[in-house]
Chain A
Amino acid sequence: MSNNKDNKNSYLQMFRQMVRIRAFEEQANQLYLSAKMPGLTHMYVGQEAVAVGICEALTPNDKITSTHRGHGHCVAKGADFKQMFCELLGKQEGYCRGKGGSMHIADQANGNLGANAIVGGSAGIATGAALTAKRMGKKEVSVCFFGDGALGQGLLYETMNMAALWKLPVIYACENNLYGEYTKVEEMAAGDLMARAKGFGIQSFEVDGQDVLAVNNLTQELVERARKGDGPFFILLNTYRYHGHHVGDINREYYRSKEEEQLWREERDPITNFSQLLVDKKISTSEELKSIELQIEKDAEEAVNYALNAAWPDASEVNMHVFASN
């Protein structure tokens, strides 16, 4: 690793972004537990290396589409804590003026076309964004994030087929966290997960989704190739969600064991392991990393307080934005 020093900034940036996601989610979970957040939300904790490894290989003009478990993608693509918390609480200053909430958070300025409450629902959107990029001669790529559960959706296969036929610059990023809701992936997906996209002639890669460097290196390579017209690509990222399916899914031993959860948390945590690497390779020190963490936790707390005190949307908003103006 001779380029460690050159990479110090980008490594610390990845560390920071993963810590930001975790800090955001811890606050979001607290908001739910203290009954301050309307509705339910799905925690991204445990999967940080996936969103960060991928989004750090993108520019703000590159597009992503996200899922119901979308806070991580949104933070990783550059979103601001305050506007995100405002959205989660349904406040006027939120990214979607409080109209979308957790499951529809979008950040147009940073190329996030939105979370999606329909499993697999954004496969067409990401592929369509790639069609725009190609047609308009922009060198942008789009990344479609989806969970293992979305492998059950036909839309995904229709769009992958077209993306392959038309050589579109899109990367299908399948986050395999082993479960879709309360069911194991092997009970929902027959055969070889990797063979699906390959069937369309799409080059497919499998990577450890807990290793942010591995994810980032692979994505950088694929993004570069996609910009040259070499896409589409499929990546299977093996990962794990630490929390329940949603914040209310507390008693979950009937579908996965405490031991399994503990194993992932203790041995495969993407932040702990990356911190260790940064210290071992003398890229950073534990003191430096600790102070970054503390600062981010403080930022998150401030943003939450800001959002709690922010204004509700005005009643007149309710029938605004049904149609775009001409």
Chain B
Amino acid sequence: MREITFGAAVNEAMAEEMRLDESIIILGEDVAEAGTPFKVLSGLVEEFGTERVIDTPISEPGFTGIAVGAAMTGLRPIVDLMFGDFLFLIMDQLCNQAAKTHYMSGGKLSVPMVLRTNMGATRRSAAQHSQSLQALVAHIPGLKVAMPSSAYEAKGLMKTAIRDNNPVVIFEDKLMYNDKAEVPEEEYLINFGEANILRSGTDITLIATSSMVQQAEMAANTLADQNISAEVIDPRTISPLDETTLINSVKKTSHAIVIDEGHQNYGITAEIAARISEKAFYYLDAPVQRLGAMDVPVPFSPVLEDLTVPTAQQIHERVVMVLEGKI
């Protein structure tokens, strides 16, 4: 099968959907000729024109609000938010407006829009360009949240997001744009709320999102050398969350570690660990463990920044501690 990059997969998903549906537009800063700073949207303006691929001023709350209104009245906007850190600028439009409209209108209005943005540290970009803020939006009822972990996932989840009749936030890991994976030429979708078991195992369940999936798989590989069999699961969407697959895995392995690049305090890892404790408590042989980003603003200095993000080695060490009863 052909291999394409994560960035190309996102681009392809958007182009395919835009060919099928005239109502899809893209709004964001430098999305047209520049194709975004990460060059992920290159070529789209050439095919779809500036009427559908629209460069905006640096006015995040404004263009997000315009997308909400456009979505309520017949368009299907994809908002491009250059850095996930800028979510803090658009929270009212996303969380007070987009997320609540369908419910508040008694189901009469809806907001079919996608907000594509990114996450992830270790690009030496400091505290305002490195955050992983998925927990903030996953907290809000009415928003769906997808976290693709490879080119294959990115394409399938993006296509599903575009067809969804609700506001969907997609977090892409900015360090992954050049990573390649097998992506079929034929059309496919990936359903929201269906976790992916990347590797089955019997000793411990590693639940990892986005950038942390690769780390979990690397850890699973080195653990296998020590005859430890780890099951690796990617939830794909954290809202909705495929609780059943996660719980069933933990019931089988009796051990679990949850890994996500957002802050650990009140984060994705906390939510998933709580659900496991609620639903699989009597199957557990050890407390559920969590590995998230350190609870500090992301520091600039490489020697400090590298300390803040979970690594395969940390996962490996934690697994050994759990299985040896040292927790």
Contact = CB atoms under 8 A, between A and B. Distances in A.
B296 A39 contact: no
Interface in B99-139: 123-129
A90 B300 contact: yes
Nearest to B34: A182
Nearest to B303: A312
Given A154-B61, A181-B37, A183-B55, A312 B301 contact: yes
A91 to B, nearest CB: 7
A229 interface: no
Interface residues of B, number: 34
Given A154-B62, A180-B58, A100 B34 contact: no
Contacts of A207: none
B301 A39 contact: no
Contacts of A2: none
Contact of A318 (B57, B126, B296): B296
A13 B58 CA distance: 36
Interface in A61-116: 90-91, 96, 98-104, 116
A117 interface: yes
Contacts of B85: 117-118
A104 B297 CA distance: 12
Contacts of B62: 152, 154
Contacts of A182: 30, 33-34
B301 A313 contact: yes
B295 to A, nearest CB: 7
A38 B124 contact: yes
B126 A39 contact: yes
B126 A181 contact: no
Contact of B294 (A100, A104, A118, A319): A319
B299 interface: yes
B140 interface: no
Interface string A140-184: 000000000111111000000000000000000000000011110
A150 to B, nearest CB: 7
Nearest to A187: B55
Contacts of A40: 125
* Most chain A beta-carbon neighbours within 10 Å: one of B57, B124, B307, B308: B57
B133 to A, nearest CB: 14
B304 A101 contact: no
Nearest to B123: A39
Contacts of A153: 58-59
B49 interface: no
Given A39-B125, A152-B59, A99 B303 contact: no
Contacts of A319: 294-296
A131 B103 CA distance: 42
Contacts of B61: 154
B304 A318 contact: yes
Q: For the complex, would chain A's binding face be called helix, strand, loop or mixed by DSSP majority?
A: loop
Interface string A115-144: 011111100000000000000000000000
Contacts of A120: 58
B294 A318 contact: yes
A39 B300 contact: yes
Contact of B34 (A91, A98, A103, A255): A255
B141 interface: no
A283 B129 CA distance: 46
A251 B126 CA distance: 25
A156 to B, nearest CB: 10
A297 B58 CA distance: 36
A33 interface: no
B296 A322 contact: yes
B231 interface: no
B260 interface: no
Interface string B299-327: 11111100110000000000000000000
A318 B297 CA distance: 9
B177 interface: no
A188 B304 contact: no
B299 A152 contact: no
Given A39-B126, A120-B58, A98 B37 contact: no
B29 interface: yes
B128 A99 contact: no
Interface string B261-305: 000000000000000000000000000000000111101111110
Given A153-B58, A317-B304, 4 more contacts: A152-B59, A154-B59, A182-B33, A254-B33
